Amino acid sequence: MQELLVLHHVTVAYTTMDGIKPVIRDLSLKIKEGEAIALIGQNGCGKSTLAHILSGLTPISRGTLKINPSIQNNIQIVFQNPDAQIIGDTVYEDVCFGLENYCVDPKDIPIRALRALSAVGLRSAANRPVEFLSGGQKQLLCIADALALDAQVIIFDEVTAMLDPLSRKAILQMVNHLLNRGKTVLWITQLLEEVGHFARVLALQSGELVFDGTPEDFFFSDHIPENTPCSKLGFVPPFSVQLAHQLLQLGVLSDERPILMTALKDAVEKQCQSI
Ligand SMILES: Nc1ncnc2c1ncn2[C@@H]1O[C@H](COP(=O)(O)OP(=O)(O)OP(=O)(O)O)[C@@H](O)[C@H]1O
């Protein structure tokens, strides 16, 4: 798979009243076509800043960012705060706004807008004024805006924070669908149980990339839970991972490394069947 985004020793610093404050420190990273990446880290560690660098919204102070020409103007970001990106008066107008800005053929706009709204469950709210939407519905609308533009790379910045469990599940299924269509997804989250939906996990700490690997290695690289990168870096693993570690220690599981609750259930069922 070709490299789409390459960060080479990137530093971003802001001038504050206390002097120059680096928020991304000497970070190198390659993102390839079709990758499914979860980005985690505590509040203020620089996740959104990294997302803004990758989407060209934040200039870098030092280092380089190479964007593959095939994705120039084809990276979309869904922001943490939906009010920061909603422009239209109605739900339908908001999706159309982005399409018009990207000079999409006017005859294709209604089809693409309504298809994107259907994908997030807002088709029936197309004519509703945006101020009548709940916070979670506004977030779904922002996701529809990005879907309508059919971007090659989509960055989701903590988009499930305001969503109920069913909407969260639906969005994660939609992300899976995007990945199956070859899209590249960077999923920023504070919810470690979501990491199991992705193939690669990046962890940031004070602007530094402190882990880059598979979720399995992040949660299970050592059979002692306290020695895994997850615990050593101060993250609390999701309940399913904590339970899996206990079952591994008890010998109920042998070498499985389930992260999602569904995977844990499957692993336990398999063991039960073999008894
Ligand atoms: N324009 C700015 N000027 C000065 N400091 C900034 C600016 N934007 C962000 N910061 C600082 O950069 C740091 C990283 O912010 P960022 O929003 O990237 O963190 P985050 O990991 O996304 O946090 P959260 O999980 O709370 O959203 C924070 O300390 C923040 O205060």
* In the chain, where the domains are located: 3-213
> Residue 270's pLDDT is what?
86
In angstroms, the Cα distances linking 95 to 12, 115, 247 are 32, 10, 47
Decide: 78 and 142 in contact? Cβ < 8 Å: yes
> Residue 1's pLDDT is what?
82
45 ligand 1 Cβ < 6 A: yes
44 ligand 1 Cβ < 6 A: yes
Q: Chain-centre distance of CA 234, in angstroms?
A: 20
2 ligand 1 Cβ < 6 A: no
Distance 114 CA to ligand 1 centre (A): 35
> Residue 134's pLDDT is what?
86
Distance 64 CA to ligand 1 centre (A): 20
184 ligand 1 Cβ < 6 A: no
Distance 11 CA to ligand 1 centre (A): 14
The CA distance from 88 to 95, in Å, is 8
Q: pLDDT tens for residues 221-248?
A: 988 889 999 999 999 999 999 999 999 9
> Residue 112's pLDDT is what?
95
Distance 210 CA to ligand 1 centre (A): 18
Spell out the per-residue pLDDT of the chain, length 275, in tens. 899 999 999 999 998 888 889 999 999 999 999 999 999 999 999 999 999 999 988 999 999 999 999 887 789 999 888 888 899 999 999 999 999 999 999 999 999 999 999 988 899 999 999 999 988 888 889 989 988 998 899 999 998 887 888 888 888 888 998 899 899 999 999 999 999 999 999 999 999 999 999 999 999 998 888 999 999 999 999 999 999 999 999 988 888 899 999 999 999 988 888 77
Closest CA to 151 of 106, 189, 181, 126: 181
Decide: 187 and 37 in contact? Cβ < 8 Å: yes
Listed in sequence order, the residues at least 6 apart from 101 whose beta carbon sits closer than 8 Å to its beta carbon are none
The CA distance from 90 to 94, in Å, is 6
**Overall fold of domain 3-213:** Rossmann fold (3.40.50)
User: 181: which 2 tokens?
Assistant: 């269509």
**Which residue among 17, 27, 45, 155 has the greatest number of ligand 1 atoms within 8 angstroms of its CB, and so is best to mutate?**
45
Q: What is Dmax (Cα atoms) for the chain? A: 65
> Residue 180's pLDDT is what?
92
Q: pLDDT tens for residues 184-193?
A: 999 999 999 9
Report which protein residue has its CA nearest ligand 1's atom 27. Answer: 43
> Residue 274's pLDDT is what?
77
Distance 53 CA to ligand 1 centre (A): 12
